[in-house]
Amino acid sequence: MATSTYNLIASQVVGSGGASAITFSSIPQTYTDLLLKISARMAPNTTGEYIQMSFNGVTTNLSSKILYGYTTNASSYNESSVLALGIFPGVGTTSNTFGTSETYIPNYTSSNYKSVSTDEVSENNSSSTNAAYQYLIAGLWSSTAAITSITLSAQTTSILQYSTFYLYGIKNS
């Protein structure tokens, strides 16, 4: 049976003033899979905003199937031109709460299309109806290029200070 080894490739913490995007560049091609862990808070004065993912500076041929739930409701929808990673809390939510996500990208160096799976929770510490969401997202980048860089960007505003991003390489042996 193969065992997996996780290695931290890079990490970024958003500084004062926030950031519109985070980029991991020069991703080594020596791993089997990639794992991205995010803890983030967004700038809009609403309940939250998407973080979107793109690869190698390309923002085309991306799609997502999104299943989400809140309180007692569940629904799904498609995004035909965005690879979304869920809605992270905005400044209109409970102070100092961050959403968390884990995104898995298998076979990122292969010449096949790249699949992406994300599990995200938008923490809110609120008893208000529909205040916190859970997302399961299946994404696809319809490209045969190996992934050498990942950009994570705010949908319309910015990612706030203290948000963290960790990229791991996974090597199966």
**What is the 3-class SS of the chain, one letter each residue?**
CCCEEEEEEEEEECCCCCECEEEECCCCCCCCEEEEEEEECECCCCCEEEEEEEECCECCCEEEEEEEEECCEEEEEEECCCEEEEEEECCCCCCCCCEEEEEEEECCCCCCCEEEEEEEECCCCCCCCCCCCEEEEEEEECCCCCCCCEEEEECCCCECCCCEEEEEEEEEC
Q: Which tens digit of pLDDT belongs to each residue from 63-74?
A: 999 998 876 788
Residue 124: its pLDDT value, please?
Answer: 64
Residue 133: its pLDDT value, please?
Answer: 76
In this structure, how many other beta carbons lie within 10 angstroms of the beta carbon of residue 5?
12
Distances (CA, A) of 165 to 11, 21, 119, 148: 6, 11, 15, 17
Residue 12: its pLDDT value, please?
Answer: 98
Q: Which tens digit of pLDDT belongs to each residue from 6-20?
A: 899 999 999 999 999
Give the domain 4-172 fold: Jelly Rolls (2.60.120)
- Name the residue ranges covered by the structural domains of the chain: 4-172
Residue 69: its pLDDT value, please?
Answer: 85
